[in-house]
Amino acid sequence: MGGAQESLEHAEHVEHAIGHNKQIALLIAVIALFLALSETFGKSAQTSAISDNVEASNLYQMGPLLASVAAVCPGPLTFRFCRTRVVCS
């Protein structure tokens, strides 16, 4: 009889451990979801910052050229950037 009682108690402990493992697995899945979302938003912010930095660098480098174009082109200026030149219209 003692063996049967021990087996029953052991089965209850195993069942409790399985339920606890499922809770831990769910917690890990939720943490992984938050990590993936934060990485995605962080990468988007990084891409935006790099793009803004490149644009600022391009404008800084084009400053002298824009000044010379402004001296030649009359009236209000709008610029279109081509690969090798600035076109005013």
The tens place of each residue's pLDDT in the chain, 89 residues long, gives 457 677 767 767 777 777 778 888 899 999 999 999 999 888 888 888 898 888 888 777 777 776 776 666 666 656 555 555 555 55
Residue 78, pLDDT score? 60
* Strand boundaries in 1-89, DSSP class E: 79-81, 86-88
**Torsion, Cα of 53, 58, 61, 62 (10° steps):** -140
Backbone φ, ψ for residue 56 (5° rounding): -65, -40
User: How do the domains of the chain map onto residue ranges?
Assistant: 2-88
End-to-end CA distance of the chain: 98
Residue 35, pLDDT score? 94
Residue 87, pLDDT score? 56
Contact status, residue 71 vs residue 88, Cβ threshold 8 Å: no
Q: What is the pTM of this model?
A: 0.45
Q: Which of 43, 81, 51 is nearest to 65 (CA)?
A: 81
Q: Which two tokens stand for residue 10?
A: 């052991």
